[in-house]
Amino acid sequence: MSLSPDRTVAELRQLQERTGDENGAQRVAWTETWERARQWLREKVVAVGAEEEIDEAGNQWFTLPGASERALLLGGHIDSVPNGGWLDGCLNLAAAVEVLRRVAEEGTPPLTVRLVNGADEEGARFGRSLFGSSAAAGSMQDQDELRERRDADGIALPDALAEHGVDLDRALEARTQLDNAVAYLELHIEQGPVLESLDLPLGVVLGTFGVERHLVTFRGQAAHAGSTPMDQRRDALAGAAKLELELPEIARRVGGGAVCTMGGVVTKPGIVTSVVETAQCLLDQRHLDATWLAEMLSNAEAASRRFAHEESIEVEWEKIWSIEPIPFDDRLLDLADEAVHEVAGSSHRLPSGPLHDAAEVARAGIPTVMLFVQSLRGLSHTKLEDTRKEHLELSVQALDALASKTLASLA
Ligand SMILES: [Zn+2]
């Protein structure tokens, strides 16, 4: 029997019917609906003959034993954001089930093949993305902070996790799950417009962007909007506005897919009758190359100081969060290119702007690669998220071809 990609599409629609509503997917991690989705996956994979195990961080593992204990991992996440799309995360799991079926039918694989459903990739309820994968990768270092986190209803994170059998203090024990892993493959929707604009169904992901997030605060002087002459103002918003308009120029100069975003500005006092005294800007900068990311950051800092000087105001930078760029494995990139070529005729390499569980696994030193399938209109994290049926089917074939090549190359 051969692969049946149209079965994958039918199964994804079934999952959407069981765990979504008219507003989209509702599989937020650590909820009843999420458990229902995990049960759905369990039924599919156990029927293939794989054995289930839930680790200390809530990751759901399925193992199909091979001739060797060295393991090929296929990873995805079944959790969604509220009112999310029908493909984000679960596409890979459904496609991997199909790959497992094919592998199991052919007898004992040369390597053990494992499917992992990462717990709480999205961080939708508590604002902490990549929970399960960072625990398994051993990079989770924020337990003290996580203990204090609460959801919108005031429920503490440790209590919500305990309801699903996860003890936050033991989450890092999930690390042993990666002991025998020799490769990690993940298929995902692109969640952006690049492949569609190139008219390509599939792409090979070079790695995930490094991210620098800062709170940039400009400080001036509140003053009466009527009585303060234009040349005597110290307007904090003027500095923020100049910085915002400089960002496209900074990204253009650095190039290589650089992106800079001012995601929000809060002004105080924020009334129509006063010059702005403080403007707090949320700045997000991303690049696939660490040197260029650092260059972007220092360019933005220098520009902000220049604008502060011009406007007679002050500026102060505070780091919110950062992560280094995570390049994927060269050998797996080549195999992924071959697989995509075979299935779709041509391949294209692109970076990933969003983070994925794959980034955590790669950070732990496991050779990793991802495939992207085109997203219509580049939309994701909305019920409007969609991909053409024929492209979804090609993506299942590409993941299968990549899994075959990886097994053959590592056996
Ligand atoms: Zn995702």
Distance 376 CA to ligand 1 centre (A): 15
Distance 181 CA to ligand 1 centre (A): 21
Distance 238 CA to ligand 1 centre (A): 37
Distance 411 CA to ligand 1 centre (A): 29
Distance 65 CA to ligand 1 centre (A): 27
Q: Which residues neighbour ligand 1 (ion) by CB within 5 Å? A: 88-89
Distance 374 CA to ligand 1 centre (A): 14
Q: Write out the chain's pLDDT in tens, 411 residues.
A: 589 999 999 999 999 999 999 999 999 999 999 999 999 999 999 999 999 999 999 999 999 999 999 999 999 999 999 999 999 999 999 999 999 999 999 999 999 999 999 999 999 999 889 999 999 999 999 999 999 999 999 999 999 999 999 999 999 999 999 999 999 999 999 999 999 999 999 999 999 999 999 999 999 999 999 999 999 999 999 999 999 999 999 999 999 999 999 999 999 999 999 999 999 999 999 999 999 999 999 999 999 999 999 999 999 999 988 889 999 999 999 999 999 999 999 999 999 988 899 999 999 999 999 999 999 999 999 999 999 999 999 999 999 999 999 999 999
Report CA Rg, the chain.
23
Distance 381 CA to ligand 1 centre (A): 9
Distance 33 CA to ligand 1 centre (A): 17
Distance 77 CA to ligand 1 centre (A): 7
DSSP helix/strand/coil, 305:
helix
The rounded Cα 275 to chain-centroid distance in angstroms is: 39
Distance 332 CA to ligand 1 centre (A): 20
Distance 8 CA to ligand 1 centre (A): 17
Distance 79 CA to ligand 1 centre (A): 8
Distance 276 CA to ligand 1 centre (A): 39
Distance 130 CA to ligand 1 centre (A): 10
Measured over the CA atoms of residue 304, residue 237, residue 319 and residue 365, the dihedral's sign is: negative
Long-range contacts of 163-170 (CB under 8 A, 24+ apart): 163/30, 164/30, 164/35, 164/58, 165/54, 165/58, 166/56, 166/57, 166/58, 166/119, 167/56, 168/143, 169/143, 170/56
Give the residue ranges of DSSP H helices in 255-366.
290-311, 330-344, 357-363
State residue 2's pLDDT score.
82
Is the peptide bond preceding residue 5 cis, with omega within 30 degrees of 0?
no
Distance 305 CA to ligand 1 centre (A): 37
Query: DSSP 3-state helix, strand, coil percentages of the chain (rounded to 5)?
Result: 40, 25, 35
Give the span between the Cα atoms of 82 and 129, in whole angstroms.
14
Adjacent-strand bridge partners of 64: 113
Distance 303 CA to ligand 1 centre (A): 34
Distance 306 CA to ligand 1 centre (A): 39
Distance 390 CA to ligand 1 centre (A): 20
State residue 321's pLDDT score.
84
Among 55, 176, 162, CA closest to 118: 55
Distance 382 CA to ligand 1 centre (A): 12
Distance 81 CA to ligand 1 centre (A): 9
Count the Cβ atoms, other than its own, within 10 Å of residue 82. Answer: 15
Distance 80 CA to ligand 1 centre (A): 8
Measured over the CA atoms of residue 149, residue 152, residue 155 and residue 161, the dihedral's sign is: negative
Secondary structure letter of residue 259 according to DSSP: E
Distance 249 CA to ligand 1 centre (A): 30
Distance 356 CA to ligand 1 centre (A): 6
Distance 190 CA to ligand 1 centre (A): 9
State residue 1's pLDDT score.
58
Secondary structure letter of residue 328 according to DSSP: P
Distance 163 CA to ligand 1 centre (A): 24
Measured over the CA atoms of residue 289, residue 291, residue 294 and residue 296, the dihedral's sign is: negative
Distance 372 CA to ligand 1 centre (A): 11
Distance 118 CA to ligand 1 centre (A): 10
